[in-house]
Structure 1
């Protein structure tokens, strides 16, 4: 049996941080990559009764490798149900049954708004991005949203160029003003340097923990707003042997997660 203690890469730490935010019996909508790995780490460790589903309609998939898309055939064998988009986004999400939505974005701001539409002005953008997919309704309607992002001044923003998926928009009361359910919104922002949480009064992201190898000063220097630091800030707990065993032996035996190192998640 392998000993994984003390042996991990930054993307594995990020996946484990996401897993720790999922509670037993949660209903979770996940995409591919980090969200799927995080949700399944949780299911194989502390949240065996969590119900995981893809927006494509698959519920409680049992993949033998990381899925390459929400429609990847590896999600189908052994799944509890193979439905469709309307089943997930209509019957479950719009009905208020989803506890956790797990998202990522090309640009994320201090209020947890996510941009996957354009970089630069909408009418004449520098870059066009793929758009919302299911991210907008997930961010609007899930009870809490978990966000994964790279931690630099290109990916984090004081204000996003375009709100594809609303977080707390421009502060307290904004979600309710625009008709979103009460007690919903971003819960945590996990980056390759830190874990940021959202202040219950200001709704702005603050530093909760810094990953091993990072410093508070480095993180603040790479954040484009005046990042506040929790009084209880601490070093992020490294992946446990149980978490790494679930990830490497059950979920990602070919270490496909290492591709994120090449994408800058270091």
Structure 2
């Protein structure tokens, strides 16, 4: 049963959660990725293993953490370690199935810029925080899920700077560069869900959110976006919304 009243954040969270499969190791960050991972753990993926950058491995979250370093992230965890263990024993060892990422710009091949707008390291117009652990996740996770606000300026033909590599120049360029594992699988935005063509690795529109059209999404994308096969994004079920609102984030820390 679907629910007719839901927020955009709830719709995006549900779309992201549905990308997680049972038994997978999930590298989740603060905010919507946490919501999605918790929702998946409460529904179709009870045995997914959630890990956080601060060092928590295999959390069984009872309360939503405010950040990856929040003590609430330790609830039911198999191990309370540190950055080294998460990035070395889990990520570099190839044990992370899916990692969540975001950024200021995402291009048609899923390359992410979270470094600067404009020439870098010359005279950037805007300077951002940089990679953090995002580049490691983009290079070493088996696949990545990208979360982004959908605006023309955020989806350029080419990013100003590749902070976290996606499919680089498309086709097999990622593997040729030495990145033999992973790559982005989906981009969940405020307007729809975009996926990558299996051969060219170019983004195409898989679905547009209710109230929008495929052309709306295309008009808000700087590069040419294939919309031919797009359908409407499936809406959240009553059960998913109940779990999100009453169990995952009852205090509306991140839900809007």
TM-score range, shorter chain: over 0.9
In the alignment, the residues of structure 2 paired with residue 235 and residue 132 of structure 1 have an alpha-carbon distance, to the nearest angstrom, of 33
Say yes or no: does 1:39 pair with 2:44: no
What corresponds to 2:169 in structure 1?
170
What corresponds to 1:60 in structure 2?
58
Say yes or no: does 1:239 pair with 2:242: no
RMSD: 1.5
When the two structures are superposed, what TM-score results if normalisation uses the length of structure 2? Answer: 0.95
What corresponds to 1:203 in structure 2?
201
Cα deviation, residue 209, structure 1: 0.4
Cα deviation, residue 67, structure 1: 2.6
Gapped regions of structure 2 (runs ≥ 5): none
Q: Give secondary structure in 2 for the equivalent of 1:245.
A: helix
Cα deviation, residue 251, structure 1: 1.1
Q: Give secondary structure in 2 for the equivalent of 1:74.
A: helix
Say yes or no: does 1:254 pair with 2:251: yes
Of the three residues 80, 83, 105, the one matched with 1:107 is 105
In the alignment, the residues of structure 1 paired with residue 255 and residue 10 of structure 2 have an alpha-carbon distance, to the nearest angstrom, of 8
Cα deviation, residue 159, structure 1: 0.6
Q: Retained in 1: the 8 A contact 2:115–2:128?
A: yes
What corresponds to 1:213 in structure 2?
211
What corresponds to 1:180 in structure 2?
179
In the alignment, the residues of structure 1 paired with residue 110 and residue 64 of structure 2 have an alpha-carbon distance, to the nearest angstrom, of 26
Cα deviation, residue 64, structure 1: 4.7
Q: Size of the alignment, in residue pairs?
A: 255
In the alignment, the residues of structure 2 paired with residue 92 and residue 11 of structure 1 have an alpha-carbon distance, to the nearest angstrom, of 29
Q: Retained in 2: the 8 A contact 1:12–1:257?
A: no
Q: Give secondary structure in 2 for the equivalent of 1:60.
A: strand
In the alignment, the residues of structure 2 paired with residue 30 and residue 230 of structure 1 have an alpha-carbon distance, to the nearest angstrom, of 32
Q: 1:8-48 CA deviation, whole Å, 9 max, x = no partner? A: 10011000000000000011101010111111111110000
Say yes or no: does 1:148 pair with 2:171: no
Q: Retained in 1: the 8 A contact 2:111–2:162?
A: yes
Q: Give secondary structure in 2 for the equivalent of 1:140.
A: helix
When the two structures are superposed, what TM-score results if normalisation uses the length of structure 1? Answer: 0.92
In the alignment, the residues of structure 2 paired with residue 137 and residue 92 of structure 1 have an alpha-carbon distance, to the nearest angstrom, of 11
In the alignment, the residues of structure 2 paired with residue 45 and residue 242 of structure 1 have an alpha-carbon distance, to the nearest angstrom, of 9
In the alignment, the residues of structure 1 paired with residue 224 and residue 178 of structure 2 have an alpha-carbon distance, to the nearest angstrom, of 29
Residue range with higher mean Cα deviation, 3-12 or 213-222? 3-12
In the alignment, the residues of structure 2 paired with residue 217 and residue 175 of structure 1 have an alpha-carbon distance, to the nearest angstrom, of 30
Q: Give secondary structure in 1 for the equivalent of 2:69.
A: coil
